[in-house]
Chain A
Amino acid sequence: DAKTTQPNSMESNEEEPVHLPCNHSTISGTDYIHWYRQLPSQGPEYVIHGLTSNVNNRMASLAIAEDRKSSTLILHRATLRDAAVYYCILSAIYNFNKFYFGSGTKLNVKP
C-alpha cells in the first residue's frame, strides 16, 4: 500500500484557517487521495477526496500538488468541533476497498 506521512499534531485558533499537509511521494497515477477524520470515541467520517484537481465541498478544500506527491486539506474556518484526528489515505482507483489509515494528524483547536 502506498504510504502517507503527516505531522503528528497541529494546533489552530478557532475561526482561523487550517492547512493540514500530507506527503505521499510514492503515489501512483491510479491512486485516489482521501481524507477522513475521527472525532474522539467515534468512527471515522469522510471529509473529501480527489485525484488530480483541487476539490471543494461544504466541509473543506483539497489542494493537490502538481506532481501529486503531496496534498493539503484546508479547513477554511476552524471550529471547536473540528478538533479530531485527520487521516490522509491513498487507495487505487480500481480498489477503494482497502484503506491504509496511518497515524494521522491530531488537530487541536483553541477557543
Chain B
Amino acid sequence: NAGVMQNPRHLVRRRGQEARLRCSPMKGHSHVYWYRQLPEEGLKFMVYLQKENIIDESGMPKERFSAEFPKEGPSILRIQQVVRGDSAAYFCASSLGQGTYNEQFFGPGTRLTVL
C-alpha cells in the first residue's frame, strides 16, 4: 500500500507566479490535511478537507491560498502570486476518517522556493 504521495518534491517559482502542490492520499483515505513548515519551526496547520468539502480552513491565509480535494484526483494546494515569505515546506497528511482514533500519515513534503 503506497503511502501519501506529494509532487513535485521541489518547486521553484518567481515572485508573482502561481504554485500548485499536489497530494495523493493513502488508498482508502478520504481525509486530507495540509501543513506548512518554515525553517527551524514546527508544522503549522493550514486546512482540513474531505472529498469535495473544506472542513476547517482556519490556518489558511485569507488571500492567495486555496485548497481543493475533488471527487476524483489528488488534493491541490494552490498559491497565487507567490511572495518570498511563501518559501517553506508544505506537507500533506491523510487519514481514514474521524470517530475513533485516526492516525495522520504524512507525505514527504513539497519544498517551495520563491525567488
Complex alpha-carbon distance, A96 and B33, angstroms: 11
**A46 in contact with B58 (CB, 8 Å):** no
**B43 in contact with A99 (CB, 8 Å):** yes
**Which range holds the interface residue count of chain B?**
20 to 34
Number of A positions contacting B (CB below 8 A): 17
B25 interface residue (CB < 8 Å to A): no
**B55 in contact with A97 (CB, 8 Å):** yes
- Most A C-beta atoms less than 10 A away, residue of B41, B58, B59, B104: B104
**B109 in contact with A43 (CB, 8 Å):** yes
Complex alpha-carbon distance, A49 and B103, angstroms: 9
Complex alpha-carbon distance, A87 and B44, angstroms: 12
B108 neighbours in A (Cβ, 8 Å)? 42-43
- Total residue contacts A-B, CB cutoff 8 A: 53
Complex alpha-carbon distance, A97 and B104, angstroms: 8
B104 neighbours in A (Cβ, 8 Å)? 46, 96, 99
Residue B98 contacts which of A42, A96, A99 (CB distance < 8 angstroms)? A96
Residue A32 contacts which of B45, B48, B101 (CB distance < 8 angstroms)? B101
A residues 95-111 near B (Cβ < 8 Å) are: 96-104
Cβ of B60 to closest chain A Cβ, rounded Å: 12
Complex alpha-carbon distance, A49 and B98, angstroms: 16
* B interface, CB within 8 angstroms of A: 4, 31, 33, 35, 41-45, 48, 55-56, 58-59, 91, 93, 95, 98, 101-109
* A interface, CB within 8 angstroms of B: 32, 42-46, 49, 87, 96-104
